[in-house]
Amino acid sequence: MPVRKNDHPFLDHDGYIETGIPVEFYEGEFENAISEGRLAGKISADVARAIVSAWERAKVTPPDAREAVVKRIKEEFGLP
């Protein structure tokens, strides 16, 4: 899933978000990054919707892992 610098000024270059396999993070890693001021920015709601759509179509990832990722993104962005 591409994430373009033009749409996200906090990026130094174009990048992507993996939607084929879950990437593991440690418990509380996001919360700690937020509280410590280590996050550079946040993706747009449009990109979040596209990520949800890509994850919902992903066939490589086991359904339980896929559902967990989709749930977290929807909660974070208040998506239906």
Locate 73 and state its tokens. 């993104």
Q: What is the pLDDT of residues 30-63, one digit of tens each?
A: 788 888 887 778 888 888 999 899 888 887 778 8
Q: Residue 29 belongs to what domain range?
A: 2-77
- For residues 74-78, average pLDDT: 92
The strand pairing partners of 3, in sequence order, are 15
Task: For residue 59, give Cα distances in angstroms to 28, 45, 65, 66, 76.
Answer: 27, 23, 11, 9, 23
Full-model pTM: 0.69
Locate 26 and state its tokens. 């440690």
What is the number of structural domains in the chain? 1
